[in-house]
Chain A
Amino acid sequence: MQIGPKIDPAQLKFRIGPLVGWLIRITPTCRDIVRLISDDMDHPLPLGTRLKIRVHFLICKWCDRYRRQLLFMRNALRRHPDRLAGAEPPADSPGLSSDARERIKRTLQDRSE
Chain B
Amino acid sequence: MPGRPRPSEAYVEPRRLSDPQTWADQHGDYLFRCAMLRVRDRELAEEVVQDTFLAALQARGRYAGQSSERSWLVGIMKHKIVDQFRKTCREQPVDDPDALGREMDNDGTFDEGGHWKLDQTAPLDWPDNPAGILERKQFWDILKHCLGELPPKMAQVFSLREVDELSTEEICEAMQISSANLWVLLHRARKHLRQCLEAKQFGRSPA
A35 at the interface (CB under 8 A from B): yes
Q: How far is the CB of A27 from chain B (nearest CB, A)?
A: 11
A7 at the interface (CB under 8 A from B): no
Point out the residues of chain A lying under 8 angstroms from B191, CB to CB. 34, 38
Secondary structure of the B contact surface, majority rule: helix
- A39 and B49 within 8 A (CB): no
- A89 and B187 within 8 A (CB): no
- A29 and B115 within 8 A (CB): yes
- A111 and B57 within 8 A (CB): yes
- B140 and A104 within 8 A (CB): no
Q: How far is the CA of A94 from the CA of B186 in the complex (A)?
A: 28
- B137 and A73 within 8 A (CB): no
A54 at the interface (CB under 8 A from B): no
- B183 and A38 within 8 A (CB): yes
Q: Which A residues between 91 and 106 are near B, CB-CB below 8 angstroms?
A: 93-97, 100-101, 103-105
A47 at the interface (CB under 8 A from B): no
Kindly count the residue-residue contacts between A and B in the assembled complex, taking CB atoms under 8 Å apart: 157
B141 at the interface (CB under 8 A from A): yes
Point out the residues of chain A lying under 8 angstroms from B168, CB to CB. 42-43
Q: How far is the CB of B111 from chain A (nearest CB, A)?
A: 9
Q: Which residues of B contact A (CB under 8 A)?
A: 20-21, 23-25, 28-30, 32-34, 36-37, 42, 45-46, 49-50, 53-54, 57, 74, 109-110, 113-116, 118, 122-126, 130, 134, 137, 140-141, 143-144, 147-148, 161-165, 168, 179, 182-183, 186-187, 190-191, 193-194, 197-198
Q: Which residues of A contact B (CB under 8 A)?
A: 1-2, 29-32, 34-35, 38-39, 41-43, 60, 62-63, 65-66, 69-70, 72-74, 76-90, 93-97, 100-101, 103-105, 107-109, 111-112
